[in-house]
Amino acid sequence: MKILSVVGARPNFMKIAPLLRAFQGYPNFVSKLVHTGQHYDATMNQVFFEQLELPKPDYYLGVDAASHTQQTATIMLAFEDVVAIENPDLVLVVGDVNSSLAAALVAAKRGISVAHVEAGLRSGDRRMPEEINRIVIDSVSELLFVSEKSGLENLQRAGIPADKIFFVGNCMIDSLLFYQERSAQLPVLASLDISPKKYVLMTMHRPSNVDSHEGLKTILRMLERLTAEVSVVFPLHPRTRARFSEMGLNIPLENIPQLYLLEPQGYLEFQHLMTRAAAVLTDSGGVQEETTYLKVPCLTFRETTERPITVEIGSNELISNLNPDLVREKVLAILAGEGKRGSIPELWDGKAAERIAAVINDKFSASP
């Protein structure tokens, strides 16, 4: 049985790594990896392949950044050539990036089964390109692997047959657990001369937060208020760094005291920082899940989340706008011991990939 697994962006890498390990336990699987090149920056790409011990891709499509439409169309054209050569039994996609959408559409149009890992997640906000991607990928998938209970409810409401849906847990947590000990051994905090739980970790990259002058000025005010109380460690996403520079705000950013501006961190380094932070401020999707497992209070700068379990029972709290005074108030409460700790969601136990591989084997072994 031949499986083509498709990755393109950093969030994909952490989810695909445990799956490729799990596939090795099935000698009847022929597993090949396709990298679209959607994340082309070395800090967003190569270091993750190395740290997550991912194999060299069997195919690298080298798709450059462009508009969502151009990127998706270019990936579709390139991936169609790969499918024609390989004739796979299954195309596996993870998450909600353009690479996953493009690969799923190509496979579905050629009559090839699609497996979607992280199926059923919904924010309810169709202004987010990722929301459109999630809906479309789920609609063309034969195997839908769900990471949290809300995914089951969303897929059932969409009329997807129950025999296509499998509640398996979270592959992101598989990687978190697999590399936890290795990450703990890194000297990241020592090199910064910061003590555990004495700093706030921050990430910011979504266009709604960083693509306007007003948004960046608000981030600056927020950082000024926070650093008057606590150190802030801020690995700068390439997009965010570019926006600060383009809008002439990089110097004010660099001059904020108690602010540690870092280059984008590798997977192990970021996990080290996240595990030891007093709190995490983010607009990322996956970070909401990781902090929930780690029980680190997390403030997410978004109006909605496609991962509601992180708010309902986890350590995550949504902040609908970048209000510097509100954020300072929330962080001070966390530092005083009043932050959310929450509990770990069902099946977030490090074995999601094993369950997925078993389902795929059962389904295809049973096929005539």
- 165 and 267 inside one domain: no
Cα–Cα separations (whole angstroms), residue 225 to 116, 220, 222: 42, 9, 5
Q: Which of 276, 274, 213 is nearest to 247 (CA)?
A: 213
The answer to whether residue 343 sits within a structural domain is: no
- The pLDDT assigned to 205 comes to 87
Q: Decide if 73 contacts 103 (C-beta within 8 A).
A: no
Cβ within 8 Å of residue 60, ≥6 positions away = 35, 37
The answer to whether residue 11 sits within a structural domain is: yes
The answer to whether residue 238 sits within a structural domain is: yes
How far apart CA 161 and CA 18 sit, in angstroms, is 27
Residue 228 structural domain:
181-338
The answer to whether residue 332 sits within a structural domain is: yes
- 218 and 156 inside one domain: no
- The pLDDT assigned to 206 comes to 84
Element (H, E) at 119: strand 113-119
- 205 and 227 inside one domain: yes
Q: Decide if 280 contacts 298 (C-beta within 8 A).
A: yes
- The pLDDT assigned to 40 comes to 60
- 164 and 298 inside one domain: no
- 271 and 142 inside one domain: no
- 55 and 154 inside one domain: yes
In the chain, the number of structural domains is 2
Cβ within 8 Å of residue 225, ≥6 positions away = 324, 325, 327, 328
- The pLDDT assigned to 234 comes to 97
Phi, psi of 184 (to 5 degrees): -65, -25
| CATH code of 79's domain | 3.40.50.2000
- 55 and 152 inside one domain: yes
- 228 and 334 inside one domain: yes
The answer to whether residue 189 sits within a structural domain is: yes
- 265 and 141 inside one domain: no
The answer to whether residue 289 sits within a structural domain is: yes
How far apart CA 263 and CA 279 sit, in angstroms, is 20
- 357 and 280 inside one domain: no
The residues that are catalytic are: 205
- The pLDDT assigned to 41 comes to 63
- 143 and 36 inside one domain: yes
How far apart CA 307 and CA 31 sit, in angstroms, is 29
The answer to whether residue 132 sits within a structural domain is: yes
- 217 and 88 inside one domain: no
Q: Which of 7, 93, 57 is nearest to 356 (CA)?
A: 93
- The pLDDT assigned to 65 comes to 66
- The pLDDT assigned to 106 comes to 98
Residue-level pLDDT, tens digit, the chain, 368 residues: 999 999 998 889 999 999 999 999 999 999 999 999 876 666 667 889 999 999 999 999 988 767 889 999 999 999 999 999 999 999 999 999 999 999 999 999 999 999 999 999 999 999 889 999 999 999 999 999 999 999 999 999 999 999 999 999 999 999 999 999 999 999 999 999 999 999 999 999 888 788 889 999 999 999 999 999 999 999 998 889 999 999 999 999 999 999 999 999 999 999 999 999 999 999 998 999 999 999 999 999 999 999 999 999 999 999 988 899 999 999 999 999 999 999 999 999 999 999 999 999 999 887 65
